[in-house]
Chains A and B, each alone.
Chain A
């Protein structure tokens, strides 16, 4: 059975979604992820959707659900790598995913998670010119 891999990176978990989601796969992912969060005592989850060209309401809802579950297990979820076209579609669908934090790419998502671990927001790298 196909599975979406969950990678452990320090205190965080990285999930990269690269294939079309369907019900069974989503349930498996939710199952795996919640178990991994508890097992590794992860404090953050990064969901990377940079290779998804199409995101429908189903995936949107699933991401919202995962974020809710992770929060209950004391892990923050950051959604990273959304494409412009996908963002426009989701907004047009009325799904602005208000409960989920977002970042442009994995690197920045990691920075956001590290910032929130320290108890305060982290806003980007060195900006001296």
Chain B
């Protein structure tokens, strides 16, 4: 324990010196991403980390699971998250911590004369900094994953807009392949819009659906059935020639559903059914 505090004491005594060396090292390193981070920001991050690091190592030695290390981890997590969004690679992020080894080792070499003691001390510092470096990678990974998850969610919502075409007529332009998860979202948003707009006709436009196989057809039929239970009639539009051929060859029965080739045709039918019509004002 006494030896651990020796390192701690050395670090806290020479904090300013280490910081200067560390920052200039980071600035001169070939891996510096001057395009992504400003010198002032780097200096601030380094200062904050070193300060917390020195406090923690004095309070709890090398046990990084101790409560005293929490502020250090918070600083690292903040840096990591920042760098993940700024576009740093995981190794560049981890290098932030690893690059601290050099100034600390130089200092240790100066301060500790005994070779065996020096080796022991450097090993402890190495193990400690490795742990912290890996921690940054972990946080980096997590924040990346959360970005991906958010994007997936957004894509899901963006891909299922339900639009009101006219009083009591809503349309659902489908884009992309329909799988079970998407069908669920599509169904929910369509049914909610039907309630909201008191729709009597729902047009499902499949112009943007690349292929229709038995599964997609079944999902479509499910959506149509659910809309019917809510009291809205469904029209499927945007039926392309190849899709019509595929559906017949697959033996899917779409005869209970009204299908149209274009959205315009479907809209005309919908208007007619709701009792409206389009007239030309000028000849």
Contacts and interface: CB of A to CB of B under 8 A. Distances in A.
Interface residues of A, number: 23
B172 interface: no
A93 B5 CA distance: 68
Q: How large is the interface on B (under 10, 10 to 19, 20 to 34, 35 or more residues)?
A: 20 to 34
Contact of A88 (B166, B195, B226, B275): B226
B232 A127 contact: no
B225 A96 contact: yes
A104 interface: yes
A97 B230 CA distance: 11
Interface string B210-232: 00000000000010011111111
Interface string B195-216: 1001110000000000000000
B228 to A, nearest CB: 6
Given A123-B274, A127-B167, A127-B275, A88 B188 contact: yes
B18 interface: no
A103 B192 contact: no
22 contacts: A79-B229, A84-B191, A84-B194, A87-B226, A87-B227, A87-B229, A87-B230, A91-B226, A96-B228, A102-B229, A104-B194, A104-B195, A104-B200, A104-B230, A105-B198, A108-B198, A124-B275, A127-B166, A127-B167, A127-B168, A127-B275, A128-B276
